[in-house]
Structure 1
């Protein structure tokens, strides 16, 4: 089979596609024939520096989320899973490949009518967006500012917050991204690439950027407001302190770390929302498996919108 290997830490060129032995299903495992693999900004950071949550050393195969069909079941696994369309996390490695072996308990069947690419786009970003919305509490009747609103999680937060009754302000860089965010239901769009960008006061900030943009957004919060930082697309985490928040009467919400059971529940919930037509991920870019390096370069360029996928089959 073909797989994309991280041959060293460095630029996108360290990702190299080559023939690799196929995995087999051990006890309690299944082998998934991969159709789509999801990419994340965190993976590009890890590839570049070795810093991140994956605990891998080159040579290794990156990729933490895939969708496909169960092609093999190991001992102790229900044979009825064979042929089932599923999405699954991989434990942090192995996803940039044509086949991957995972724990059978990790796979989530994809509901009928939900395309596999949609399901993969929701696997990580859908559960993150749902978890974030739950963490800040009810938003009906409130103004919600979404930073990085044209990104994978941001596009979903815009939809979810609007459906929950919020007035959504989407912040994104550039006119193209702004048009996308407005089309998803944002009542207002601001271009945070413009110096001095601002908007009227808000009740909630979802911060997927960090850095100075997060600090500017923090300054827009009304007393009693909440801010949740979940990403660092700008290169560093928000440096807003709890003392600063307390002085202004706002709350810095800490995103929860879900256990395995809750992770599965969140993925199932995101897929159910998609099946019902209430949640639609934006898949902005697709690359063949062998062009994983180009996909990483595109994500790092900040020119991408929504989710980026590798097409494996």
Structure 2
């Protein structure tokens, strides 16, 4: 089968197309014919440095999220699973390939009416956005500042906060991203690459009640300063290169709560199923901004690292 290999850590060019042996499902496993692979920023960090939640010896086929059709099952697995459209994690590796084998309990069936590419776009980002918004609990009229609002998770957070009745302030870096957000109808859109962006937020809405931090670093610290007493801040990304550095003591002095939500595997699966159901109903709409064929995975990584991407980036495999 066709696959993409990582044989050494480095720039995007170290991702090289090649071939691999077709996987065969063992007892309690299923084989997925991959149509789309989900790309995340943490995968670019793993490729560059080996940093990340997964540890795998090189050489390895990267990729932790896929969507496709179950093509075969191993011993002890219900044959009726064959032909089901599913999304699934891979355990950390193997996703940048035409086929992948996973435990039979891992795949989640995609609801009727939801295209596979949108399901893959919602697989990781949808559950993350639902978890974050559930922890932040924005109330009608509250000012919710979403950083990296044109990204995969950020775009979904904008939708969820607006549906909760909040006043959304969307932060994004660059003209293309801010134009996309304005075109989608967001009330206040600000480019955080402009030096006076915090002043622009204050002029528009006065401050913030909730900050959903997807950038980290200096942007996150400035966003924290916009919070009024009683505000809440959650971090979900480090597009700026580092996590938010906000001391607990300072937050307490300001009357701000730093939230760090989490979920166990059972809860994460339930959040994923809910995200897919919301997508099928048209209430959660992922933006797929970029698509690359499997053998151009290096270009996909380069695009993500350039900070020029909008919404979700997918590898089209099938």
TM-score bracket relative to the smaller structure: over 0.9
In the alignment, which residue of structure 2 is the partner of 1:237?
A: 243
Residue 147 (structure 1) aligned with residue 152 (structure 2) = no
If the length of structure 1 is used for normalisation, what is the TM-score? Answer: 0.98
RMSD across aligned C-alpha pairs, in angstroms? 0.9
Partner Cα separation in structure 1 for residue 183 and residue 163 of structure 2: 14
Q: Note the C-alpha offset of 1:185.
A: 3.9
In the alignment, which residue of structure 2 is the partner of 1:305?
A: 310
SS in 2 for 1:60: coil
Mapping for residues 47-86 of structure 1, pairs under 5 Å: 47-86=47-86
Residue 209 (structure 1) aligned with residue 215 (structure 2) = yes
241, 258, 262: which one aligns with 1:252: 258
SS in 1 for 2:46: helix
SS in 1 for 2:129: helix
If the length of structure 2 is used for normalisation, what is the TM-score? Answer: 0.96
Q: Note the C-alpha offset of 1:137.
A: 2.1
Question: Alpha-carbon deviations, 1:123-161, whole Å to 9, x = none?
Answer: 000000000001112432211000000001000000011
In the alignment, which residue of structure 1 is the partner of 2:285?
A: 280
SS in 2 for 1:225: strand
SS in 2 for 1:97: coil
213, 221, 224: which one aligns with 2:227: 221
In the alignment, which residue of structure 2 is the partner of 1:35?
A: 35
Partner Cα separation in structure 2 for residue 236 and residue 138 of structure 1: 26
Q: Note the C-alpha offset of 1:77.
A: 1.3
Partner Cα separation in structure 2 for residue 278 and residue 183 of structure 1: 18
Q: Note the C-alpha offset of 1:184.
A: 3.4
Confirm or deny: 8 A CA contact 2:138 2:210 kept in the other structure.
Answer: no
Q: Larger deviation: 64-73 or 177-186?
A: 177-186
Q: Larger deviation: 52-61 or 182-191?
A: 182-191
Structure 1 stretches of 4+ moved >6 Å? none
Q: Larger deviation: 174-183 or 99-108?
A: 174-183
Partner Cα separation in structure 2 for residue 209 and residue 58 of structure 1: 30
Partner Cα separation in structure 1 for residue 207 and residue 15 of structure 2: 44
Q: Note the C-alpha offset of 1:57.
A: 2.3
Confirm or deny: 8 A CA contact 1:162 1:185 kept in the other structure.
Answer: no
Partner Cα separation in structure 1 for residue 91 and residue 299 of structure 2: 24
Partner Cα separation in structure 1 for residue 66 and residue 139 of structure 2: 32
Confirm or deny: 8 A CA contact 1:35 1:312 kept in the other structure.
Answer: yes
Confirm or deny: 8 A CA contact 1:158 1:185 kept in the other structure.
Answer: no
Confirm or deny: 8 A CA contact 2:138 2:144 kept in the other structure.
Answer: no
SS in 2 for 1:31: strand
Residue 296 (structure 1) aligned with residue 301 (structure 2) = yes
Partner Cα separation in structure 2 for residue 194 and residue 57 of structure 1: 42
In the alignment, which residue of structure 2 is the partner of 1:126?
A: 126
- For structure 1, the residue ranges without an aligned partner over 5 or more in a row are none
Mapping for residues 85-234 of structure 1, pairs under 5 Å: 85-198=85-198, 199=201, 200-234=206-240
Q: Note the C-alpha offset of 1:28.
A: 1.1
SS in 2 for 1:268: helix
Partner Cα separation in structure 1 for residue 161 and residue 76 of structure 2: 42
Q: Note the C-alpha offset of 1:255.
A: 2.3
Partner Cα separation in structure 1 for residue 41 and residue 48 of structure 2: 11
SS in 2 for 1:120: helix
Partner Cα separation in structure 2 for residue 96 and residue 203 of structure 1: 40
SS in 2 for 1:105: coil
